[in-house]
Chain A
Amino acid sequence: MSAVLANMQGAVAPATTKAIAPSRGERPWTFYVLASLFALYVLALYGPMICIYILSFQDIRGGLVFPMKGHSLHWFVDLFTQVRTGDVKGSFDRSIRLAVIVTIITVVISFLAGLGFRRRFAGDAVVFYMMIGSLVAPGLVLGLGTGLLFQAFGLNASWYTSALGAQLSWTLPFGVLVMFAVMSRYDRAWDEAAYDLGASRWQTIWLVIVPVLAPGIVAVALFGFTLSYDEFARSLQTAGSLNTLPLEIWSMTLNVTSPSLYALGTVTTIISFIVIGASLGTIVLIQKKRGRGAKD
């Protein structure tokens, strides 16, 4: 009897050790396959950019390809002092202004669309698909069409008219889609509660809807800004005689053969990071302000 028991214990023991094995930190082989796949993906994503940033810090002997020759900020100085490299400062200025205008219009219209689409109305699906339909159109074709339309009406194409319109056809659908996602978490009972407590429509918007949705609104603004700031295809045929920054960079790639092109890439990236950082910082600040009561 006791022999049988001992036998059973012996038979059970190996099974137990086997079952415990995976928790000892050994990873299945699939982990290594997926991890290398991810590493390749990250390399493909950031490798090209990092090449540009590295090469922009060469000294005066620098060329367009590796190996790197020395290190200095020469090409950054060159970028802002040399006229032959193109109108970097002017185009940067225009791009920022355009992006700000686009951001404001995108935020306001997306917010209002979000408010409008909270309840169903006749033809809401048609309106919705018309709004996001322009996402399907190829940007170059849409830009070309906008240019033609302005010509047909006898209007001059410029960055603040035709290019603005063409860019909005790109940023608005995105803004509206993000806003819908944000709005889906808004409880209509908050509106009713505000009304019940005596708030006017305006007070409800300013004291309840806007603050509740603030993080989402910042996200929409960020979308609008970055999409506009590096928009190329739609602006190409609509910017008129004065270039936006992406168009300027593109024309520089055709005739500038110095690392100042790379310096420009580095500078614009830094600007993007500042904008994104500021936006995320704002969101974090909003959340933190809300959470400040949690400390007691």
Chain B
Amino acid sequence: MLEADLIWLTILIFLPTATALTLLLVPARAAEVMRWLAVFGAAGTLSVSLCVVVGYYLLLDSRLDANGRPLYSAWTRLDARADQAASDAAQPIPKALLSDDWIARRPWIEDFDIYYALGVDGIGLSLVVLTALITLTALMASWNIEQGVRGYLILVLLLETGVIGAFLALDFFLFYVFYELMLIPMFVLIGLWGGERRRYAAFKFVVYTLTGSVAILAALLAWHTVDVRDFVDQAEVQQRVRELARERHLSESDVDNQVRIHTFDLVTLSKVGRAVMLILSGQEHRLAARDHIAEQPVWNQVPNGPVKLFAPGVDVAAAIARLKAQPVCTPSFQYLVFALLFVGFAVKVPVVPLHSWLPDAHVEAPTPISMILAGILLKLGGYGILRLAVPLCPWAAAQLSLWIGLIGVVGIVYGALVAMGQTDFKKLLAYSSVSHMGFVILGLAAWSSGGTAQYWQWGVNGAVFQMLAHGITASALFFVVGVVYDRAHHRDLRRMGGLWEPMPLYCGFSAVLFFASMGLPGLCGFVGEFFVLLSAWHFSPALAVPAVLSVILTAGYLLWTWLRVFTGVNEATASFADLTPREAATLLPYVVLAILLGVLPFTLVLKWVDPAVTGWIANLAVLR
């Protein structure tokens, strides 16, 4: 039987690849055709992603929670849906796969427990839409790429496939594959289509990100050693027991203890992580088995109440004993794996002092690639910490939360200060990305629990929104730089100036984006920063104060840039042409979104993102 969501999600991921393959058929002379084809492919991907948003929203809206309200039913939670799907498939007579649960789960490499598992929730989906949008506009901005058009377009589209796949993957291995898939096109794009020092920048990019990838790979392998038999549906355990008994010609009760189940399933692994956190923090009495596979969520549970993590029908005492016997249940494993994951993704964010590749990559990358780099790739870092590092190793994350928050704040202040000292327009924006992404880290780190868990929830919502907002403002601003670079052929802020008079439309659009980046209320940059600051104060005033003071620095460097680029009188720029209609059409969606998201963040985005964040918080906040 056809599973509709599987088809939708697969199309969403592989439509760019299909477009790339089609590009191979176009004759080499028809560069214009290729460009249009790529744009149509990206536009199609964006349309599909919007369809998935509608489908996901219907899923949220059509089921009611215990209070009789929509949007917060059990099925809001990705893990409930994923568990149900896994359980349905594990039954002796598999149940029919649901077409509307937005979980697609098929075996891929069964020998290594690898699944082609995709799942949709608000956090990932919002970033998928952002990716589709930015890729489309980046392709629209690629018209002046003259050399190797075909290869260029194919690589950009492959990159899109990798990123969307990573945002949707529910299987750690699948995630890793997509994550790596995205690195190679980026490397080639910077290395071949970049500026003068492109080789240096490309190698640097690869070395930094591959180091991160290796860390993630190590964590991946470490997690695969964990036995998760008490967390998966017991029907699967029974089946394994039967198989093993038949194989070894022993009775089932004899082999029962020898069955180990390993998985890359992120939902299951995060349950292990949470159970470990309870054990390590001396709360193992709270561990309990679930009553149903897809547990009715209890938001913000009773303090010190039971935490139902084991699968239904599991002997809790035996399960705890089995878990404690494993290395996963040691502080050193938790610290090490968390450090590996955090560092792996922190390179991408990037976090000071691992940010050094970013300015070089940006400066050398052509404009559209900078847009993708700032708008999409950095988000993978934040997303990885949000989706993998913290849920898999909550104990270590909680232990280190102050340090993580500090790393975020250092990034915020350091990035802003270094940005202020730049004279290269693109470098300045690259460092401002470091500063803005610091808010994401700070928001994620702002642990709170019990009756005040909502403060952390504001922080995480703020972090997700900040990723979206930064995706919009940063990639748009890189395009803004690209526009002026096309005309002036340099990016030296000291030689610019006076662009306002010859280019009023350009200036108007840039003004909105500058102030959105600065966090002016009413524009998108404000929402995330404001939420993060509110929760940061609750978490630690000592971290919040420097973050608050950084708004002064941000205003300082952006306005100084504004002054140097747009105002004044400058003969050299007086004859510049205003935006062409294609350039204007590229910038317009960003400007509109910057305003709309700033005015209606909840109605447009958070309404369907917050249920996912709520589930995320409900899982973790209860542990402390």
Asked whether A and B interact, the reply is no
